[in-house]
Amino acid sequence: MKFFIDDLPVIFPYPRIYPEQYAYMCDIKRTLDVGGNCILEMPSGTGKTVSLLSLTVAYQMFYPEHRKIIYCSRTMSEIEKALIELQKLMDYRSGELGYVEDFRGLGLTSRKNLCLHPIASRERKGIVVDETCRRMTNGQLKQKIEREEASVEDLCSFHEKLYEKDPHNLIPPGVYSFDSLIKFCKKEGTCPYFTVRRMMPFCNIIIYSYHYLLDPKIGERVSKELSKDSIVIFDEAHNIDNVCIESLSLDVTDDILKRASKGANSLAKKIDEVKQHDSKRLQDEYESLVEGLRESGISQGEETFMANPVLSEDVLDEAVPGSIRRAEHFISFLKRFIEYLKTRMKVLHVVSETPSSFLQHLKHLTFIEKKPLRFCSERLSLLVRTLEVVEIEEFTALKDIATFATLVSTYESGFQLILEPYETENATVPNPILKFTCLDASIAMKPVFERFSSIIITSEIFLTDGCHQRF
C-alpha cells in the first residue's frame, strides 16, 4: 500500500497497517524533520522493523540529502532478519514504482562469519581469524614480496581480486543478505568482508551490530567515514546501556597478569631477535613515534590487532612520550605496571577506588606517570605490527593490560576500580579480581550523539527510566 505522511510518500509492503505502526512512523518522521533524536517503544509482534525500514527508506529516497541509514541491531540473526525484511521491502517498492531504484543495502559482521580463505576461515577464534587475515593483506607483506622475501601466494587471493574491480562498484546495487553476499563473492572470488567494508561509503543502508558504533575500540576503525547527516537507528535497544557499559569495562585476574607477563617476556625476546637481524625496523618505528601516532601510520590502517579505546585527535598528534618510544623501554614499562598490579591484587578485603586515587598510588610507588599510560594501547599495537608477530593469541592478556592502562589514565570520572580477594562470598581460597567498571553508559554513547544529527533508539519492551535519562 502507498500513503502519505505530510508530504512524504511511503510505500508499505502490506495491504493493511496497524494504527500503532502508523503512529510510530509519524513519530520517526517528525524526528527526522527536526533533525533530532528519539526513543520509541512498540510492543513485540506489531511489525516494528518493517515500519522503521519503510519510513526511513521512503525518507531517504524522497530527501536524498540524507545520505545513509545506519541500522544497528544486536545479534547476527537479527541483522540477517532485517536484511531479509529490507530485501522484501525493496522488491515491493520496485513493483509499486514500476522501476528498480538505484539502491544498495549491505550488512556487516565479523571476518569470522564472512571469511572465505581456506586457512583463515578454519580458525575458531575471531581474534585469530582477524590476525591471520591481516597478515595476508597488509602492506608489510607486499613490501616483502617486492624484496623477494615472500611469495605472492602468501597474499589472500580473495582480497587481491578486489583490486581488479571498480572500487565504487565491488558489488552491484541491490540488497544482500549474508547468504547472498557470500554466494556472490564466492562466484567472483572476492572477499565478502572487505567488499562490505569498502562499499560502506556507497551504500544507502548499512546494517550491523551495535558494537561497530558504540565500542570505541572498533567504531573508530570501521565507522569513521560515515557522515553526520546519516540516520542512525538502534533497534532491539532494550539493553543498549549494558552494551555501552560492557564495551568500556574489563576484569583483570591473576591468570591474565601471569599471561601478560609471559607475553611481555616473549615480546622482549622478539625485540632482541629483530635487533640482531633487522635493527633498522625498530629504528624506523622509533623515528615515526617522535612525529606522533598519526605519522606512525597506526591510525590509518583498516584495523589493528587492538584498536585504541580512546583515539582522540590530540593523542594522535602528540609525540609518544620518550619513556615508551624505544621498544625495549616500553616492554620494561609494561612489566613494571604488571608487577604493580600483581601487588595490588594481594588484598584481604574488598577495596574500591577511583581512577585518580589509583593513579596517585601507582605514581607514588612506581613513578609511572599518567601520560605514557594513555599511549599504552596504541604503542603495543604498533610494536606487534613492527615485530610482525604471528602467534597473536599469546598477547591477548597483554593487550587487556594495555587497554586497561589507557582507559584508567584517560577517564577520571564515570569509572570505578573494585578489587575483590574472593570470587564468591563463601570462598576460602583467594582468587582475586580487579574489576574496572564503567558506571556511565553515556561515555560510550556520547561520541555517537556528537557525531550524528538524528538517532532513533527503539525497542520492543520498555526501556528503563534510567535509560531515558541517560540518553
Chain positions contacting ligand SF4, by CB under 6 A: 111, 115-117, 120, 133, 136-137, 156, 158-159, 191, 193-194
Nearer to ligand SF4, 57 or 114 (CB): 114
Query: 137 or 459, CB closer to ligand SF4?
Result: 137
Min CB(395)–ligand SF4 separation in Å: 20
Smallest gap from Cβ 160 to ligand SF4, in A, equals 9
- CB closer to ligand SF4 out of 128 and 347: 128
Closest separation in Å from C-beta 217 to ligand SF4: 19
Nearest approach in angstroms of CB 134 to ligand SF4 is 8
Whether the Cβ atoms of residue 263 and residue 395 lie closer than 8 Å to each other: yes
Of the pair 36, 189, the CB lying nearest ligand SF4 is at 189
Q: Cβ 387 to ligand SF4, closest distance in Å?
A: 21
Shortest distance, CB of residue 52 to ligand SF4, whole angstroms? 30
| Widest Cα–Cα separation across the chain | 74
- Provide the grid cell at 430: 583467594
Helix 355-366 and helix 327-344: axis angle, to 10°?
A: 110
Q: Toward ligand SF4, which CB reaches closer, 141 or 463?
A: 141
Query: What is the rounded end-to-end Cα distance, in angstroms, of the chain?
Result: 35
Nearest to 436 by CA among 355, 349, 342, 343: 355
Nearest to 413, CA basis, from 378, 439, 387, 377: 439
Nearer to ligand SF4, 193 or 208 (CB): 193
Q: Alpha-carbon distance 416 to 435, whole Å?
A: 8
Residue 183 or 468: the one with the smaller Cβ distance to ligand SF4 is 183
Nearer to ligand SF4, 12 or 193 (CB): 193
In the complex with ligand SF4, which residue's Cβ is closer, 291 or 302? 302
- The nearest distance, CB 138 to ligand SF4, in angstroms, is 11
Q: Minimum distance from CB of 50 to ligand SF4 (Å)? A: 32
Cβ proximity of 298 and 375 under 8 Å:
no
Q: How far is the CB of 133 from ligand SF4 (least distance, A)?
A: 3
How, if at all, do strands 250-253 and 433-438 pair?
Answer: antiparallel
Query: Is the Cβ of residue 178 or residue 436 nearer to ligand SF4 in the bound state?
Result: 178
Nearest distance from C-beta of residue 159 to ligand SF4, angstroms: 4
